[in-house]
Amino acid sequence: MVHLEECLTHSTPVWVLTNQLPKKSLFRKKEKPQEYFLKQFNPAELIGEELCRIKNIRCAHYFIAGIGPYNLKAPVWYEYAQKYCSVFRIASKNFHEPDCTYKSAVQYGFSQDDPELFEKILTVAKDEENKKQLCMDMLQMLALDIYMGQTDRYAFNYEFEEDPSHRVRLAPLFDFQYSVDPQWLNEGDICFGDLYSFKTIEDCKEFIRKYPVFRDILSSYLGVDLEYVVRDAFSRRNMKMPEKKFEYYRQFDQDRKDMIHRIVD
């Protein structure tokens, strides 16, 4: 467990936001869309965003917010924010584009418990070109979730973006909280969510037989250095990860790569 205060430095940029804002990471409030979403700090959010940056996957942007008496128009250093804020959270800005429509699989009329959900989602694509793009978006998410050991890609923790011409893509990813931590995985589990659950190596191999390109996407994580990813994710925000935690990330990285080798070899 890493506490936010362990990771902040005097020069960490902090957005000061009013304490009237909701403190949950919900991306659907149609009656009054939220501008910001706040939640308890978890390093996995920053790690997930950094992996998305490396893999060119669209993703919500996470930053540090202080809960204070008013909103500031620009970030301030943590050293200064401490004067106004007693509570600090991780936050993200609503990525919804005003001219696009955002839907869950359920809102497209599919059951989140359908074992063929991945294939059925592809039927909402406008044409074959759109179908290939949508398929690639979802394959990239699944490969990322396998590497991170995601256990909470359920219901409203992913969504789809439909542009004015009705082309559909996977919306930017968000909510990596329950990943990069073996405690969330049962022994032998790989990752699970609504779109596709991988409980065994054979589940992954069967999926690769359906979608051969998934082998290459998943294999690309064998070249990722998780320790470097963590350092970079934190240094970009003038934050620091306690050195004692890096052995944990090195071990997690090795365990996931060993599993990926068993899948793709």
- Contact between 82 and 197 under an 8 Å Cβ cutoff? The reply is no
Of the residues 93, 116, 134, the one at which a domain ends: 93
Rounded CA gap, 110 and 93, in Å?
Answer: 28
Let me know whether 72 and 126 are in one domain.
no
Rounded CA gap, 118 and 197, in Å?
Answer: 10
Query: What is the number of other CB atoms lying within 10 angstroms of the CB of residue 147?
Result: 26
What pTM value is reported for the model? 0.93
Q: What is the full per-residue pLDDT of the chain (265 aa) written as tens digits? A: 799 999 999 999 999 988 665 544 444 545 456 788 889 999 999 999 999 999 999 999 999 999 888 777 789 999 999 988 889 999 999 999 999 999 999 999 999 999 999 999 999 999 999 999 999 999 999 999 999 999 999 878 999 999 999 999 999 999 999 999 988 777 667 988 899 989 899 999 999 999 999 999 999 999 999 999 999 999 999 999 999 999 999 999 999 999 999 999 9
Let me know whether 60 and 160 are in one domain.
no
- Pair of tokens at residue 234: 């934190």
Rounded CA gap, 142 and 146, in Å?
Answer: 6
- Give me the domain span that covers residue 188: 101-264
Of the residues 93, 128, 144, the one at which a domain ends: 93
- Contact between 93 and 36 under an 8 Å Cβ cutoff? The reply is yes
Can you tell me whether residue 18 is helix, strand or coil? strand
Rounded CA gap, 174 and 91, in Å?
Answer: 11
CATH at 244: 1.10.1070.20
